[in-house]
Structure 1
Amino acid sequence: MGPLTLAVDSKSSSMASCGNFHPSNGKVQNLHLERNSFFASVSTREDKPFDFLRILFEGVIAGGTAGVIVETALYPIDTIKTRIQAAQGGGKIIWKGLYSGLAGNLAGVLPASAMFVGVYEPTKQKLLKILPENLSAVAHLTAGAIGGLAASLIRVPTEVVKQRMQTRQFASAPDAVRLIVSREGFKGLYAGYGSFLLRDLPFDAIQFCIYEQLRIGYMLAAKRDLNDPENAIIGAFAGALTGAITTPLDVIKTRLMVQGSANQYKGIFDCVQTIVREEGPPALLKGIGPRVLWIGIGGSIFFGVLESTKRFVAQRRPDHDQFADSSKQD
């Protein structure tokens, strides 16, 4: 016997019905238990026609809002994590200026988070319509990676400036940008781009996949939509677990981004070899405590705010009341 998987299928009536819950609106429509399916799945094939621009707009609003709130609330923890990772040997950690670079970072976080969710949501929903229902996790993984790739064009320069300021190399974001470009060229703003993708694409894909799968499973088990605290708890777990798994990749990314024109490391593999040789393998887990704490709390806030904002925006759509009425009649 294969593992049991909860699935919602609004098309089929050949299987025994367990209720009428639909995760997108808290209403039930033919809830089933399917065997031989590895992932939780939700059928979306009979939803309203795919509206790319609406989904994009709502994702941009929700993503930008969630990203700014998380970054502002947890910036000091991120600063501590960066300084721990950047310190070599027994270097001391500086505890002053924990909000150094926040304003400049928010200028990048807002459009980056908006772009990520703006790309993720329509990609996810399109893939869920195309792929078989038991492959919903593939849709979440793929959409997370594509969203991360699109957002990286903004996130990397923002991350470079932020981490240089967190390690007290520059006094302000404009100075950081100007001096980095003058000393290292425009490519200096994309220092560590390869390591950033190596860390963030798996991170985005895994985190959003874990979150979406747990959320679907929880909704199907509870036979209702989730409230904001429940979304936040699931987001915290997904963020903390993913943060711990990807810590070595984060250490590598930090070292490559903060090295500046010194070029201490020639690339990703040289960075790993140098760290292990000079500081030992445990150095690849530097900052894991603050990182797990930061991303765990951040995941809680981000996903809680994300779902709340998506619901807020959706409720103010001109067609919301009409759609809600039609749902009640189904």
Structure 2
Amino acid sequence: MDPGGIVSSSGDGSHIAIPDALAFKNIKKQINGTCGTVCVKQDDPCQTLRVLYESLIAGGLAGVIVEAALYPIDTIKTRVQVARDGGKIIWKGLYSGLGGNLAGVLPASALFFGVYEPTKQKLLKVLPENFSAVAHLAAGALGGAVSSIVRVPTEVVKQRMQTGQFASTSDAVRLIIAKEGFGGMYAGFGSFLLRDLPFDALQFCVYEQIRMGYKLAARRDLNDPENAMLGALAGAVAGVLTTPLDVIKTRLMVQGVGTQYKGVSDCIKTIIREEGSSALWKGMGPRVLWIGIGGSIFFGVLEKTKQILSERSQKGHNA
């Protein structure tokens, strides 16, 4: 036997020596290939964990970049929505509360995609192919519902800071809890869900559907500018359709202990009675601009990050 190789027998009884390095490389490829097949075909935890890991990182990064880049537009939108009777819009302090907001956006965005991507992939497997929109709608709504646990307190503090009620994020959290109890951190929770569940479902369904159609028409994968363009379109459409819900959510979140509005229905009735139905569309321009640009950045960063992580994972898998 050749000590420098692995010996195998051929059909006629002769022996062929295979170098160790080549043998081990082939064995490793076979094992890796088998593992990959098991992960895909049997829905092994290794595949699920990889999707979850990539989704958490890509979603968190995309969310933070969008918030940091477009925070001033969001501040203007909030101030326009709370202004009454031609009230003056304050243009100073457009970055007020940014630091605390980013601290909440990172885990909220990561949590959203940690739920959205695995749910979407699971539903796409079990539902008929022509029901893909249902999978996207359901996954978006579920992701929004779960992440609202973090997003609502973050949004409450952010909007109170944007309207100049507090000097710092720590003061905002401390004083809200002191004056309104812990429940004050979840002020407008129902209106938030009323706005964000339809928004998340619509935005991601529109994006996924037009992206699928675009890829079929182009017969290739989309490039970065194309992903950004489709993200902007999806964000703008969802932003327009949910503007009245956003106005209601903002009014309820920033009212504090004054309780001007007793709930969603009372808020709608009061706004229409005192300001007219057009007030429900306040801030639509800044909102659509913010979400449109944000959608282009968000989905552009999201797809690019997912691509990079997938390529790195593939390289490690084939090594």
* TM-score bracket for this pair, using the shorter chain length: 0.7 to 0.9
Once the two structures are superposed, residues 235-281 of structure 1 have per-residue CA deviations (whole angstroms, 9 ceiling, x without a partner) of: 00000010000000000000000000000000000000000000000
**5+ long unaligned stretches in structure 2:** 1-38
Give the drift of 1:155: 0.3
1:1-330 equivalence runs, <5 A: 49-50=42-43, 51-317=47-313, 322=318
Give the drift of 1:54: 1.3
Give the drift of 1:49: 4.5
CA spacing shift, 1:117–1:187, aligned 2, 3 Å: same
Once the two structures are superposed, residues 171-216 of structure 1 have per-residue CA deviations (whole angstroms, 9 ceiling, x without a partner) of: 1000000000000000000000000000000000000000000000
If you compute each CA radius of gyration, which structure gives the higher value, 1 or 2? Answer: 2
Give the drift of 1:322: 3.7
**Aligned CA-pair RMSD:** 1.4
For the residue of structure 1 that corresponds to 2:222, the secondary structure is coil
With normalisation by structure 1, the TM-score equals 0.82
For the residue of structure 1 that corresponds to 2:313, the secondary structure is coil
1:109 maps to amino acid: V
Contact 1:314 1:320 in 2 (8 A): no
Give the total of aligned pairs: 278
Give the drift of 1:321: 5.7
Give the drift of 1:318: 5.2
With normalisation by structure 2, the TM-score equals 0.85
**5+ long unaligned stretches in structure 1:** 1-45, 324-330
CA spacing shift, 1:249–1:61, aligned 2, 3 Å: same
Q: Percent sequence identity over matched residues?
A: 73
Correspondence for 1:5:
none
1:291 maps to amino acid: R
- Distance in 1, matches of 2:171 and 2:309, equals 37
Once the two structures are superposed, residues 103-124 of structure 1 have per-residue CA deviations (whole angstroms, 9 ceiling, x without a partner) of: 0000000000011111100000
